[in-house]
Chain A
Amino acid sequence: MTPPADAMPADVSLARRYRRFSGARLAWIAALALALAAGFVLDVATGPSAFAFGDVVAGLLRPDVLPIDQRVILWEVRLPQAVMALLVGAALGLAGAEMQTALNNPLASPFTLGVSAAAAVGASVAIVGGLALPAFGENLAVPLGAFAGAAGATLLVQLLARRYGASVDTVVLFGIALLFCFEALLWLLQYVADSDSLQQIVFWTMGSLARAAWNKIAIVAAVLAPCCAWSLRNVWALTALRSGEDQARSFGIAVERLRLATLLRVSLSSAAALSFVGIIGFVGLVGPHIARLLVGEDHRHYLPASALAGALMLSLASTLSKTLIPGVVLPIGIITALVGVPMFMALVLGRRRRA
């Protein structure tokens, strides 16, 4: 062990030095927020009919300055999609960050425990069964089925973990088992589906923002808000968990209970997020990595930065999905995976090279 290397003048207290240090992290969070605002406007401006950057900002601040047709496109088509991208991205980023802490594994994501596969099964049952649940002038059976599937998988993992102990290994084991089960069920459903339903299932599992609407946004936001508040209550416990499970336990933290609560919260918010947009992978895995590189793992900084990074990723992916092939909107799940994979590799390998 070496003696203290960067000796500081004795009158500079640690608390002051730490404040300066965390100031840099807050600056990164602000930078992420600014980038997100820019990305959001870019996302709104992008689409089949061109919008000038200034028109978007003006139309957002004072809708009446735009001609009626532009106003409708802006407020009824572009904005709901862009806001949904933002909400879903933030939900997945936040959920991924908490999942990586709760399972003490940087490869965990909101979907590690099979939530996405279960949601796909739920949605497919609704599609194949031709279930109809008209509300808000639309069939809500598919998103409801997706949510029910995801919630069912979550409850199953919770029940099993409560019965057999919630150590990381046990929870991951149950999650993987469920993942394979639900994937098999999904194949079964695809096998028995007619070609029309099959196409719908496939599209659902690719993810799409096209059906975003304000009432759906309200539902997603209503689920996310309490989950966020709940996360905030646990920031110190989650941060303490990062210094080690035994350590956290010795501080009086009920680690198993914290883990189960975190899993429940993560599953709820990601289930709400994906029930309206389908499966959007990689955001929940990569967002937390970006946040960790920028602001470290004090969860007071790490959780908001992960949410912002997730939202930024999905906003940019949404823009890309509309511009890569002119006139075609690619499924956003394809974009996040195609862009996310090289990004993830670069982050992980870059970090390894530095170490």
Chain B
Amino acid sequence: MRQPVAAPGGVEGGSGAHTAAGLALHGLAAGYPGRAVIRALDLPRVPPGSLVGVLGANAAGKSTLLKAIAGLRPARGRILLDGEDLNACPPRERLRRVGYLPQALPQASSLVAYEAMLAALHASRPELGRARTQALIEAVFASLGLAGIALRPLDELSGGQRQMVGLAQVIARESRLLLLDEPTSALDLRWQLQVLQTVRTLVDRRQAICLMALHDLNLALRFCDRLVVLGPDAVLAAGLPAREVDAGLLHRAYGVQARIERCSHGYPVVLVDRAVDAAASDTDPHP
């Protein structure tokens, strides 16, 4: 099995060089009692302004990885955000710097969207004043195009609209590190693009860092700078530049035979030809 690919230019010098801005993971291990899902993940430093796609088949550990970084699941190893180990941070302080979007949609309650936002901000950032809170909500709803549903109860919204509200709850908190667990799973084509474009712009503008679990490889290749690819037994790539993904990696990660081609607009497009025997995953996919 190929070793995780180090990102060019982002290699850590040694244990003394952690003052640099960005996110780095060292020997991260997480999972359930008696079953390690992620054994040892080393992510070379990702600079601010990066959008990192977390890819992998079902049950490969995408959600576990994001939860472990957020501190919502116990993890060993070091998680360095701007040189500071998040595992040593008190939980509240940690969740202030990390905005985590759970995979589950906000539940269909009779809260209106605006109240869901108020509650999120009051609970996570009580130090913000009222005016600042209102301004943040205003700005986020405008950027996600949600102003029209602000006063509608969540139980009257579609799944996609609730997912957008959930995303708005995270974005409004202005965290340094965003962890988005499949933020487009309930969205139609137009909104998938809209959401990824919004996150891309936000990451660039705020110089934030975003790790995003995705199932859609085309979206991942188009919007992400780098990738973390989790395989069934081991980490296949960590910090790999998105343009360096090849068919062999997709074969090992997903058990499919696929091609990556350029469309007429120059975007990379993944074409999946067929599923292959998972047991053959270590052999060369190209005959």
Contact = CB atoms under 8 A, between A and B. Distances in A.
B95 A251 contact: yes
Contacts of B95: 250-252
A17 B153 CA distance: 15
Interface residues of B, number: 55
A236 B122 contact: yes
A8 B70 CA distance: 37
B169 A247 contact: yes
Given A14-B147, A244-B107, A247-B120, A252 B115 contact: no
Interface string A234-253: 00110110111011111111
Interface stretch (A40-48, A120-128, A176-184, A290-298): A290-298
B216 to A, nearest CB: 17
A186 to B, nearest CB: 36
Contacts of A252: 91-92, 95-96, 123-124
Contacts of B165: 243
B102 A247 contact: yes
A243 B109 contact: yes
Contact of A4 (B72, B149, B170): B149
B119 A8 contact: no
A6 B155 CA distance: 18
B107 A3 contact: no
B47 interface: no
Contact of A298 (B99, B111, B169): B111
A13 B169 CA distance: 18
A276 to B, nearest CB: 34
Contacts of B111: 239, 242-243, 296-298
A5 B158 CA distance: 13
Nearest to B94: A252
B160 interface: yes
Contact of B110 (A13, A21, A250, A297): A297
For chain A, give the interface size range: 35 or more
Contact of B123 (A18, A253, A297): A253
Interface string B121-164: 01110100000001001100100011111110111001011001
Nearest to A19: B134
Nearest to A298: B115
B106 interface: yes
Contact of B138 (A13, A254, A296): A13
A1 B160 contact: yes
B280 interface: no
Contacts of A254: 91
Contacts of A251: 95, 119-120, 123-124, 169
Contact of A1 (B96, B105, B120, B161): B161
B150 A14 contact: yes
A3 B96 contact: no
Contacts of B91: 252, 254
A52 interface: no
A61 interface: no
A7 interface: yes
A15 interface: yes
B148 A240 contact: no
Given A3-B148, A250-B95, A236 B112 contact: no
Interface of A: 1-8, 13-15, 17-18, 21, 104, 236-237, 239-240, 242-244, 246-254, 292, 296-298, 355
Given A3-B148, A243-B165, 13 more contacts: A1-B160, A1-B190, A6-B148, A14-B138, A14-B150, A236-B123, A240-B123, A243-B107, A243-B111, A243-B120, A244-B106, A252-B96, A292-B110
The 8 closest A-B CB pairs, nearest first, are A4-B148, A246-B102, A252-B95, A251-B124, A240-B119, A239-B119, A15-B134, A236-B122
